[in-house]
Amino acid sequence: MGVGIEVASLNAWFGATQALYDIDMKVAANHATAIIGPSGCGKSTFIRCLNRMHETIPGTRVEGRVTIGERNIYNGTSAVEVRRRIGMVFQKPNPFPTMSIYDNVAAGLKLNGFSGGRKLDEIVERSLKQAALWDEVKNDLKKKSGASLSGGQQQRLCIARALAVEPEVMLMDEPASALDPISTSKIEELIFQLKEQYTIVIVTHNMQQAARVAEFTGFFLMGKLIEFDTTQKIFTTPSDKRTEDYITGRFG
Amino acid sequence: MPKRSIRYWWRELADRAATALAVLAVVLVLLPLGAVFTYLVMKGIGSLNWAFLTQTPKPVGESGGGMANAIVGSGIILAIASAIGVPLGIGSGIYLAEYGRGRFGDVLRFTADVLNGVPSIVVGIVVYGLVVVTQKHFSAFAGGIALGIMMIPTISRATEEVLLMVPNNIREAALGLGISRWRSTLSITLRTAYSGVITGVMLAFARVAGETAPLLFTAFGNQFWSLKPNQPTAALPLQIFVYAISPFDEWHRLAWAGALVLIALIMIAVTAVRVVAARGMLKGTA
């Protein structure tokens, strides 16, 4: 089951440049929350703070509190431990190129010391089914490399890979922006189904996408969270002028 | 068919000319390699026989004999060299690519480049001073250390280069799965760059396999069987050197045969590693 996320006065820096200013947000469990905003507004930085990926870039810094479930992830827990519980899907599909489809899905478990044997087969199958990729690859699981799939399939493979470790939260950083419309709609359908089991935070450039998949939407501008509300409210009667300007296409 | 303009013909011509120049360059590169190999075969094949591959050298004056002990000796020395050079080279390459951003990394990189430029005979002298003199005898072990040291910088820089070519989003994918950094580096990044690392190792191996100078006063050479790594040991390049500068025609012929065997063995070793390494490859692997 998914868990909720509570972000309190989160600040993030790249070197001396501040990228996020005092973000407060409550992400509801088992719902999809969309993050929208123009390029460079800090959307990606924000979700990369939710699984402590931000700090993997040299010279970066984070302050504030992020509570996932019951735990503040910036207090005492190891980053590796945090990332095991929070799956991430990136903008560009990034399967491990020299691994088979099977090994790609199993990578998170195997490399963390899981040796389930038969059980691993089940997990791989279940994850690929959840990611709606199973039927397309079930005959080539160990024969083909992850890199031999099409872009849309690769992205679903990456989703299966993230699901295999059974995270509580799924972070998606523009998961469909590099894909064609058909693959995009497959990914969106997937998000719909995944919501039942996971809490999803999705960054997107595509406002229709946010409207289609997410119950809640946050609008970021220049490192600040301008407005956070139900998607319905944000797209019909936003309370901030800047949100309205952005969603009506007046800038950004 | 539409009428073709002069510009079209000009482009066509330029395209053909560029292709022809590229082909010419390939031929010019292959020519010396072909020449060396052909000449070696012509000179060496006559003296190459079963005895050459199975017998030890005969004393001066007696005809026949072979270089079996030198072939095996080279194998022992190169095994020791690889056992030292490959792990240290790959290890330091990983450090340079994944962690070596700071000053220490720059120092290490500079050191590797300098070491790469150190003449092989100098490496030999140093190992002589440090190992042979303290142990009070020549040995395959000392020869292996000398060659191993020479392998390190080549492997290290090659490993660094190919690891840096692995896209960063692959590393992020691994970290995002909650895989620890060292595990991700070994099992994901290194695995992705694997074929490039193998190439680096093979380059270093082939280079030191033919080295003579650093073995002169480390492995020293031996006219008899010596399978113990702490004894003076024969090596193909050494044996070729000794025979080639001798005044005897018979030995000259054996030296040619030895050179042919050396080249053939290096080619076999490199090809074998390539074949074994390619076996694990999957369809569609970039």
Q: Which residue from A56, A83, A90 is facing B178, i.e. has the nearest CB? A: A83
| Residue B148 pLDDT > 60 | yes
Q: Into how many domains does chain B fold? A: 1
Whether the CB of A99 is below 8 Å from some CB of chain B: the reply is: yes
**Are B170 and A94 a contacting pair at CB < 8 A?**
yes
Query: In a 10 Å sphere around its CB, with 0-12 CB exposed, 13-18 middle and 19+ buried, how is residue B194 labelled?
Result: middle
In the prediction, which pLDDT does B14 show?
95
Question: Which residue type sits at A201?
Answer: V
pLDDT at B167: 92
Note whether residue B23 is domain-resident. no
Task: For residue A100, give every residue at least 6 positions away whose Cβ sits within 8 Å of its Cβ, in sequence order, or none.
Answer: A141, A142, A143, A144, A145, A146, B282
Architecture of domain A5-98+170-247: 3-Layer(aba) Sandwich (3.40)
What is residue B1's predicted lDDT score, i.e. its pLDDT?
Answer: 57
What per-residue confidence (pLDDT) applies to B274? 84
Q: Is residue B40 scored above 80 in pLDDT? A: yes
Cβ-defined contact of A158 to B173 (cutoff 8 Å): yes
- Judge whether B19 lies within some domain: no
Q: What is the CATH number of the domain that holds B200?
A: 1.10.3720.10
Residue B151 lies in a domain: yes
> Does residue B41 sit within a domain?
no
Checking if the pLDDT of B163 tops 70, the result is yes
Contact predicate A155/A187, CB 8 Å: yes
- Does residue B229 form part of some domain? yes
Q: Give residue A109's Cα distance to chain centre.
A: 19
Min CA distance, B285 vs chain A (Å)?
6
- Beta carbons within 8 Å of A57's beta carbon, 6+ residues apart: A14
B228-262: per-residue pLDDT in tens? Answer: 888 999 999 999 999 999 998 889 999 999 999 99
Query: In this predicted structure, what is the pLDDT of residue A126?
Result: 92
Partner B contacted by A90 (CB < 8 A): yes
Q: Domain spans of chain A?
A: 5-98+170-247
Contact A221, A62 (CB under 8 A): no
Averaged over A207-216, what is the pLDDT?
A: 92
pLDDT tier for residue B283 given thresholds of 50, 70 and 90: low
Of A158, A152, A193, A151, the residue nearest A172 (C-alpha)? A158
The per-residue pLDDT for range A39-98, each reduced to its tens digit, is 889 999 999 999 999 999 989 999 999 998 888 898 878 889 899 889 999 999 999 998
Q: Can you give the residue range of the structural domain that contains B114?
A: 68-279
- What backbone phi and psi angles, to 5 degrees, belong to A38? -70, 165
Nearest to B86, CA basis, from B169, B175, B198:
B198
Query: Any CB–CB contact under 8 A between B279 and chain A?
Result: no
Residue A94 near chain B (CB below 8 Å): yes
Q: Which residues in chain A have their CB less than 8 angstroms from residue B179's CB?
A: 80, 107-108, 111-112
CB contact under 8 A, A108 and B179: yes
pLDDT of residue B286: 44
CA-CA-CA-CA dihedral for A208, A209, A212, A215, to nearest 10: -110
Percent of chain B predicted with pLDDT > 70: 97
